[in-house]
Amino acid sequence: MEVDAGALRRNFRAVRASVGPSVGIVPMVKADAYGVGVREAVRALDAHEPWGYGVASVAEGIELRRLTERPVVVFTPIAPGELPAAIDADLRITVSDEATLVALGRAATDGASARFHAEIDSGMGRAGLDPRGIDSWGPALQAALAGGAVWEGVFTHLHSADDSPDTVDPQIALFESTLARLAPGPDVLRHALNSAGCFVRPGYAFQLVRPGIFLYGGRPGMESPEPDAVVSLRARVIRVKEARPGDTLGYGSTHVAERAERWATVAVGYGDGLPRALSNKGWGVVGGRRVPIIGRISMDVTVVDITGLPSVRPGQVVTFLGCDGQERVTLGEMADLAGTIGYEVLTGFTPRLPRIWELPVGP
């Protein structure tokens, strides 16, 4: 797995160009920076001065604390017992319910004041304070502030900005009407946009935006631009077989040679995160030519049909994601063929695949 730090930075700059220079950017680096490697991702992005970083869990936040001094926000609701560890690591936590507000107020009175971002549930449903319950949690929030908790941000999360941008306006309207009732001070940072939102509704950038997938080369919907490719997946041919008509291939013998065929066995499989759903469906590229994946993908190897390509030899590189010559397999194409999304493909690459970072010479 090759990761292009220059492309990661160019994608960051594309987000900045879309939302404008005064908006703070919070790259989402959860799940090991969508699988590319959080340490190197933070090193590459830090030069562009993001406002801070976003993670999913306290454990990820504690790891990130060692890599940056910028603010780190934990975006998934934390379990009750995790608050002391979060405060200790100076993580910003997300508040989704009244019980956490009460716990924050208590912790602050005990001298461990915590910064928090309040999440407003505008339709995502999985987390966030429900605007209909504001009469109950609104006073709890004020009590936490009176106790000494620090209100750093308030945000909502978009559910369909990628494939139905029309849903963004009503979500933002609900967010804004809730803000009007809450009346946070001018220092409380408002934020709403994920990658798709940064491109389809940049006018709703408020003070911060939270891009993820676009930075890592995933196109968040057809109305967004195509990001630069960040991740390539390549592996070497380890064997070439001259198959005769009737020869069977792989588990379940789902491919049978119909004529004389050449098969190349490549040293990558679903144990590395190459989606098994690409069996008999996906593509590799070798020497600038597309070659189909044939048979079932195994844990450690995958076979491609190189019939008509007599020059392919063991040792040659096959690209399953990324560019080779004029040919390119995008993350979107691979994910569509596998019946999933780019997020799942990227985070599915396993630790067995070395992450080889290509660091750019310039910015």
Residue 28 touching ligand PLP (CB under 6 A): yes
Helical H segments across the chain, by residue range = 5-19, 30-34, 38-46, 58-65, 83-88, 98-109, 134-147, 168-182, 195-200, 331-337, 342-348
Does 30 qualify as catalytic in the annotation?
yes
Cα–Cα nearest to 264, from 219, 224, 303, 221:
303
Determine which one of 34, 53, 204, 251 is catalytic.
251
Residues in contact with ligand PLP, shown as a per-residue x/- string from 105 to 144 under the rule CB under 6 A: ----------------------------------------
Q: Which of 153, 220, 275, 342 binds ligand PLP (CB under 6 A)?
A: 220
- Token couple for 30: 């959860």
Alpha-carbon gap, residue 293 to 290, rounded angstroms: 10
216 belongs to the catalytic site: no
Shortest Å, Cβ 287 to ligand PLP: 34
Paired sense of beta strands 327-329 and 189-191, if any: unpaired
- What is the pairing mode between strands 255-256 and 317-324? unpaired
Number of residues lying near ligand PLP (CB under 6 A):
10
Q: Please name the residue that has the structure tokens 């004529």.
A: 259
Q: For ligand PLP, which residue has the nearest CB?
A: 212
Residues whose CB is less than 8 angstroms from the CB of residue 336 and which lie 6 or more positions away in sequence, other chains included: none
Farthest-apart Cα atoms in the chain, separation? 79
Among 35, 128, 131, 212, binds ligand PLP (CB under 6 A): 212
Nearer CB in complex with ligand PLP: 270/343 = 343
Could you tell me the smallest distance in angstroms from the CB atom of residue 251 to ligand PLP? 34
Choices 144-152, 205-213, 244-252, 262-270; region in contact with ligand PLP by CB under 6 A: 205-213
Shortest spacing between CB 311 and ligand PLP, in angstroms:
40
**Numbers of helices and strands, H then E, in the chain:** 11, 19
Q: Residue 35 or 131: which CB sits closer to ligand PLP?
A: 35
210 lines the binding site for ligand PLP (CB under 6 A): yes
* Residue 211 touches ligand PLP, criterion: CB under 6 A: yes
Query: DSSP per residue over 247-258, as a string?
Result: -EETGGG-EE-S
Query: Out of 96, 122, 171, 195, which residue is the one contacting ligand PLP (CB under 6 A)?
Result: 195
The interface region with ligand PLP, picked from 137-145, 208-216, 320-328, 330-338 by CB under 6 A, is: 208-216
- Which residue, 357, 348, 217, is CA-closest to 271? 348
Which residues form the catalytic set? 30, 251
Q: Which residues of the chain form contacts with ligand PLP (CB under 6 A)?
A: 28, 75, 157, 194-195, 210-213, 220
